[in-house]
Structure 1
């Protein structure tokens, strides 16, 4: 596969002594050239990104020396030897099974693990502990896509490749803010559209996200109505004679039932979806007239109580027209994590076996049992994520091992999940960080290797297996996850079955399993890689599966049928729209990601430039849904069981009426009151058991503290210093604390000022106690600013950017300017828009006012948008909003 050449602006010389590895963030699976000195560049030879990196990828070098790394094993909060910690883990699991039976233990793992780590964990749980109770945080992001693939194709297979996104004439993004969540794929689409202006882009999303800027059509669909939309499409395609009769007749089954269900929804599709009838008709027409169409979906589909049905409705439309497995055509699920696909391959979800084998298929469990020499193999599926933590809370699980994830933050019904974890009789956490919301509750903490140190493989959303290679030595006593698992297995009596010499040996065992009993009956087959030597494994280039031991393999699946299902036929799945409750005066809460952040921010949250774009938790609502609450004020949302969260309110006209959006990243470490998953009920899709994280119904109300304020200080004071707080790093040794409280402003100012008092420094103050106004700058004798503290009864406080920049640079300014929060002369400060080059929003506006009328012109004038490109949609929005010159 030819690599896509990067834009000239992204091409750079590789760092010296660079190691080819893979980015640890989203499922795009970008190749990275990384050097021990921290310099990072995109790998121009990797097929996923061709040299491109997003803002998070370009900042990877800034995550190598993370403060707070877990460097030594700990038992009950105290440093311990590896032998003592591993003995404790083995004894904890042995004791739990003795008391509660084989299913009295569980593992909860992560798409942050490498495939070899995943494989080892699954083998330990299902093969030797004898329980199916191993599930992954991937259950929260792509389980519905997995279930839809299995229902339609017979196996979890993504048919197409990223090249299809560039060769398509129509790309439909459904429930995917690709510009922020998978930026490199969005930039590949943008580059293709620049070369072929006739190529169309349609966005199906309740929000007008950055992905919609410049799109040909945005469909602001009612949340939860995707099935109705694609049922209307299925009926429209058949009514207009676009059914590929030859393909359907030779390679599929079940069309009549699917069409009957679709027609029941089609007549009232505009009302069900809440879409303008004209816009709906345009979408139906464009899809009908464009054979080369790719429909890409992500969490907006998957994280729903009807996520599996929504994905199958999309697949139905592609099967009907034979638009599958062909260049530029197919249904395409993109995964959220770097190795969610690898976890699916090795069976690290509770309902499947390794190698895409299945308990329900006669003989397949026996293949696994013999391959592993595991007479105690689990007899059936185990608990899935939500049920697993409910069982933990009910006392049915006595030992839980959490690896590389933070369920105390990420699960629905968040506070209940956190309480269950806190009450666990025995909790083990393997992580790179000592203080996550979950790790703080652990009895045993085990230091794992991080991205820059570990070695293995990952599989991206287009089925490409890439090597992740370590380029730094292990810090402290950190060890590979697979090694930790093998050591525990040995202590439980299974050392011989886990006696791997390294990740290459694990990969060979995994690859060999995929070929057992597989004479073409399973699509996933990498048995052709099972004979690799250690040297060949080390040099392994990005490789798309399948790689069977015998015969060639095409890059795409299903263009000519050949489905891994009974009779080799795909199945049309009849699905029906299930309306949600509305009209109760509540808002539907849509949760998701920010452009520059990753999951619970244990890495990205410690990088100053990644915090610059969104330094505090924000709730976006349409202005007419704000109930009179001011833009910029603090607002409370109250949802499931009375749980609530408080965030900064932002009026967003691009938000669909009746919905609200909040990021899911904030934790107890950064902003405890802004953890939104506590408001989300534990509703799951009945087929996939994926939580419906985008369907909570919440009430919006004012949060009215006695004062609002901010404190910029040279140390992290934590979020416990006020009733509401959000803490963000601004630079080395510099932290921003957004605050609000209920005590009297004067008392709060005195208390907070005392926290940052420094010998040899004095406070310069501006105070009006009768008005509740208190401002201060803590200054050294040379004018250097140690801290600034602003409190006001109102939320309208000066921007923080200038003060932060002054303190970051160690500069001085007149006291009057410090207490005003802005320079004495020059333009007011403006928030950062482009994090790659540190370009402010006002700088971009100035360039536009000066005549820059295109993305290229703005980039030439300011540098904005010429790095990773993630900010280009926002620049495009500013260009679109600018007055047209006379």
Structure 2
């Protein structure tokens, strides 16, 4: 390493794990990323997305200047226009005619300013966040049970538990570093057990001692049965329940009929497996239940949360080492948003909009005549109001609702009809950007500075690695500029430390211990102390030292209800609102992949993150696929009354019959028709307002392609004339999957247009088999291949990973060899990339097992290096090992299309 390099300690901007990152920056500006070995969230570990952060530090696609109606503008012009339009709208229609829709990827300081602006200066609560889509049910469940939104546990509990129950959480892919901590703890402790509760068999299933693939949406029935079992087997912690809780009798009344037989009927689980789970939970004091989006994203999400909390409260297993209910959040600062009142029904610092005393505390502290007095519109209702004209001016910050909200096509129509739309983002082109009257350039990770809070209530610094590009500004500064232009006082912050100091002071203002969130120890923090701030867990009250030990809540009661007692809540079972029918007979589940993030505005520019899965797909059970005449690696149209998508088919028995799964990440920027949230009905939990993203009724049918294609090109195509296409970034340019219902009139013209050479002089190598219809082109310019296109009547058979690697390095003399689509003699075909850290393909892993006897991930790692980098691929290595040893057959892999001839 260059001795003059500088190291910046910062925090990863992806999931809610909140991993510490060390960025080493050379004098030339090159950045190397590693885990922070001292950060208590990850102790040096990073997942594949965190490891690839340096690849996202690019200006490709960035929004670098304000844009007004498609034309570049100055900041003064943009700020004046936004302020004038918001002011005029409020003057004509009142403060509830405007709204902000913000993001769990904002820093806490940004979030705080946005809420002070809307709930304070404008005195409206019409500000909600995309975190409504991922953790609002946990907030509502915590508040019902604990009296406050508190996660009682810490990460060490995952390692100290004797039983870890995962519910609706593909931890291996969605929180990989937490999964690695669990995996390593289990390897050290032979008696540790893991139960995975999920409709699908996922990467997380590979570590589970017991997999419970329940019917979608039946979690409440499962935990009602568990509560009944705990009561009938004498597992009530009488002292804890009597001293620290209320409501046990009502909760048990709701559970009294849920026998094993009834639970089995509702969940589709075998009674023997149910009994095994119930007995393990009952017998194990040190039990942690980790739950995530499979619980939260439901029209009964709050009841699901409380059904889990009931079981822990009933047994007194909360706030103790290795015991408790643990909500893990999906976004890097969803927790910080909860702390600043980011949801439409909250005030800052865990204060309540509908609590008159809390309103007075906030009003007095901010110095306004009034603050918002009633909850604003939650995300789904907010966009409903945009569509019907009640909201006439909308500011969207750091999120992409045209891709991520339910009934996404309806969101398009709502934004198209809105009088005035402002979009603050780091990217110039998103699915939401075309609807903006004004686009404002925000700073991305690597340029912005502030704090975030992770899933264990740990606040960490996110630090800039270098200066902002172009005219980009931090979100808080953009908001302050508009607020001041509208005449607001109290928005004269010079740096983010000023905001953090005020926020910390508010957390302790007139707080005598009745509010859990308190970081008033930082109320007078200096700029230097803020700059060097190390990660800490709240509460950290004025006069205290930051404890080195983990902080847990509620082992000895101390709840934040009026009487100090937790509430066990009756949770009658309600199935998902969206019911299957003859017109839509399948249940669609949506979720994340290992290497991508949200709508790919960040991960989509990182070449290594598209190596694992390069196109959108739908998982379906083999028997369902056969009944629909779907072919492996064919294409399927998935639709309902709300919309339609076209996805590659992955036929797998890891999916249960009657259900399908599709990832959420692809947008109109990356695929022809893959915004899966267009299919999700706007059914919401009545308490939390969180949409049901895991149980949509859909129809599936084969998409009748008559030709399929695969292309590599150094230039991004300006237009793709195909009914199906999917783009993925590579180190040299782009790889593209294609298909169509009708062939082009002239294949050569089509090929030239796709590759981007037009009428330019190029050297061309091609083949055509009239009998099979297969055609192949390699275009050569400036001494190297500039484009490659293979088409066929069936899904193109070619070794994609090999072609990408060879295309990148090939010179003109080697280009013709690419037409074979597979390695020539003496070269190995790596197969689909499994380990992106070391570029290890599936075939190398299979060879280490078949030829060298590798029997575990460690042996595979020694032979191939797979799994020895970030470790995110270890679950897939386990799956390959299991498939090889159990079945002696080629393993099934998540990548959908990786044929070799």
1:779 matched to which residue of 2? 780
1:244 maps to 2:237? yes
Displacement of 1:706 = 2.4
| Residues 753 and 789, structure 1, Cα contact 8 Å, conserved in 2 | no
Displacement of 1:765 = 1.9
| Residues 247 and 567, structure 2, Cα contact 8 Å, conserved in 1 | yes
| Residues 719 and 737, structure 1, Cα contact 8 Å, conserved in 2 | no
Deviations 1:600-642 (A, max 9, x none): 001101111100000011111111111221110000111233x
| Residues 839 and 864, structure 1, Cα contact 8 Å, conserved in 2 | yes
1:166 maps to 2:164? no
1:42 maps to 2:41? no
Instruction: Find the aligned partners of 1:503 and 1:624 in 2 and give their Cα distance.
Output: 56
1:98 maps to 2:91? yes
Matches within 5 A, 1:338-377: 338-377=332-371
Cα distance change on mapping 1:459 and 1:697 into 2, 3 Å: same
Cα distance change on mapping 1:646 and 1:183 into 2, 3 Å: same
1:411 corresponds, among 405, 412, 423, to: 405
1:538 matched to which residue of 2? 531
2:168 matched to which residue of 1? 175
Q: Bigger CA drift: 251-260 or 547-556?
A: 547-556
1:566 matched to which residue of 2? 562
Instruction: Find the aligned partners of 1:366 and 1:23 in 2 and give their Cα distance.
Output: 36
Deviations 1:102-150 (A, max 9, x none): 1000000001110000000000011011211000000000000000000
1:30 matched to which residue of 2? 19
Query: Secondary structure at 1:578's aligned position in 2?
Result: coil
Cα distance change on mapping 1:383 and 1:14 into 2, 3 Å: farther
Cα distance change on mapping 1:781 and 1:809 into 2, 3 Å: closer
1:753 matched to which residue of 2? 752
Cα distance change on mapping 1:242 and 1:82 into 2, 3 Å: same
Matches within 5 A, 1:588-627: 588-626=587-625, 627=628
1:726 matched to which residue of 2? 726
Instruction: Find the aligned partners of 1:629 and 1:474 in 2 and give their Cα distance.
Output: 49
Q: Bigger CA drift: 113-122 or 849-858?
A: 849-858
Query: Secondary structure at 2:349's aligned position in 1?
Result: helix
Displacement of 1:745 = 4.8
Instruction: Find the aligned partners of 1:205 and 1:718 in 2 and give their Cα distance.
Output: 41
Instruction: Find the aligned partners of 2:446 and 2:520 in 1 and give their Cα distance.
Output: 28
Instruction: Find the aligned partners of 1:829 and 1:545 in 2 and give their Cα distance.
Output: 48
Instruction: Find the aligned partners of 1:67 and 1:283 in 2 and give their Cα distance.
Output: 50
Displacement of 1:227 = 0.2
Instruction: Find the aligned partners of 1:796 and 1:68 in 2 and give their Cα distance.
Output: 30
Instruction: Find the aligned partners of 1:537 and 1:816 in 2 and give their Cα distance.
Output: 59
| Residues 36 and 42, structure 2, Cα contact 8 Å, conserved in 1 | yes
Displacement of 1:582 = 4.9
Cα distance change on mapping 1:719 and 1:800 into 2, 3 Å: farther
Instruction: Find the aligned partners of 2:161 and 2:182 in 1 and give their Cα distance.
Output: 9
2:856 corresponds, among 845, 848, 854, to: 854
Instruction: Find the aligned partners of 1:815 and 1:107 in 2 and give their Cα distance.
Output: 52
Displacement of 1:779 = 2.8
Displacement of 1:778 = 1.4
Cα distance change on mapping 1:347 and 1:815 into 2, 3 Å: closer
Displacement of 1:842 = 0.4
Deviations 1:48-85 (A, max 9, x none): 00000000000001111140111111111111111111
Q: TM-score, normalised by structure 2?
A: 0.94
1:842 maps to 2:843? yes
Deviations 1:180-234 (A, max 9, x none): 0000000001111111111111100011100010311110011100000011111
Query: Secondary structure at 2:149's aligned position in 1?
Result: coil
Deviations 1:735-780 (A, max 9, x none): 1111112333553453232443364423222223464322211134
1:191 matched to which residue of 2? 184
| Residues 710 and 789, structure 1, Cα contact 8 Å, conserved in 2 | yes
2:451 corresponds, among 431, 452, 457, to: 457
Query: Secondary structure at 1:39's aligned position in 2?
Result: strand
| Residues 62 and 607, structure 1, Cα contact 8 Å, conserved in 2 | yes
| Residues 292 and 328, structure 1, Cα contact 8 Å, conserved in 2 | yes
Instruction: Find the aligned partners of 2:432 and 2:9 in 1 and give their Cα distance.
Output: 32
Q: Bigger CA drift: 456-465 or 522-531?
A: 522-531
2:894 matched to which residue of 1? none
Deviations 1:267-324 (A, max 9, x none): 5001111111111110001001100000000000001111110010000000000000
Cα distance change on mapping 1:26 and 1:406 into 2, 3 Å: same
Deviations 1:240-261 (A, max 9, x none): 1110000000000000010010
Q: TM-score, normalised by structure 1?
A: 0.96
Displacement of 1:810 = 2.9
| Residues 632 and 796, structure 1, Cα contact 8 Å, conserved in 2 | no
Instruction: Find the aligned partners of 2:773 and 2:215 in 1 and give their Cα distance.
Output: 44
Query: Secondary structure at 1:721's aligned position in 2?
Result: coil
1:515 corresponds, among 490, 508, 512, to: 508
Query: Secondary structure at 2:729's aligned position in 1?
Result: strand
Instruction: Find the aligned partners of 1:882 and 1:673 in 2 and give their Cα distance.
Output: 35
1:221 corresponds, among 211, 214, 223, to: 214
| Residues 31 and 43, structure 1, Cα contact 8 Å, conserved in 2 | yes
Displacement of 1:356 = 0.7
1:433 maps to 2:427? yes
Cα distance change on mapping 1:594 and 1:813 into 2, 3 Å: farther
Deviations 1:381-401 (A, max 9, x none): 100000111110111111111
Matches within 5 A, 1:264-413: 264-267=257-260, 268-413=262-407
Query: Secondary structure at 1:18's aligned position in 2?
Result: strand
Cα distance change on mapping 1:719 and 1:657 into 2, 3 Å: farther
1:81 corresponds, among 74, 78, 93, to: 74
Query: Secondary structure at 2:513's aligned position in 1?
Result: coil
Matches within 5 A, 1:478-557: 478-494=472-488, 496-549=489-542, 555-557=551-553
Query: Secondary structure at 1:674's aligned position in 2?
Result: coil
Instruction: Find the aligned partners of 1:14 and 1:869 in 2 and give their Cα distance.
Output: 29
| Residues 404 and 430, structure 1, Cα contact 8 Å, conserved in 2 | yes
1:577 maps to 2:576? no
Instruction: Find the aligned partners of 1:770 and 1:191 in 2 and give their Cα distance.
Output: 55
In the comparison of the two structures, how many residue pairs are matched? 871
1:709 matched to which residue of 2? 709
Displacement of 1:551 = 5.9
* Structure 2 gap segments, 5+ residues each: 889-901
Deviations 1:651-695 (A, max 9, x none): 111112111110100011101311111111111111100010111
Q: Bigger CA drift: 442-451 or 280-289?
A: 442-451
| Residues 521 and 544, structure 2, Cα contact 8 Å, conserved in 1 | no
Deviations 1:694-715 (A, max 9, x none): 1101111000122111221111
Cα distance change on mapping 1:77 and 1:838 into 2, 3 Å: same
Displacement of 1:540 = 0.9
| Residues 709 and 797, structure 1, Cα contact 8 Å, conserved in 2 | no
1:111 matched to which residue of 2? 104
Deviations 1:378-427 (A, max 9, x none): 12110000011111011111111111111110000010012212222111
Query: Secondary structure at 1:566's aligned position in 2?
Result: coil
| Residues 749 and 791, structure 1, Cα contact 8 Å, conserved in 2 | no
| Residues 205 and 220, structure 1, Cα contact 8 Å, conserved in 2 | yes
1:831 maps to 2:832? yes
2:892 matched to which residue of 1? none
Instruction: Find the aligned partners of 1:109 and 1:143 in 2 and give their Cα distance.
Output: 14
Displacement of 1:550 = 5.1
| Residues 168 and 294, structure 1, Cα contact 8 Å, conserved in 2 | yes
| Residues 393 and 419, structure 1, Cα contact 8 Å, conserved in 2 | yes
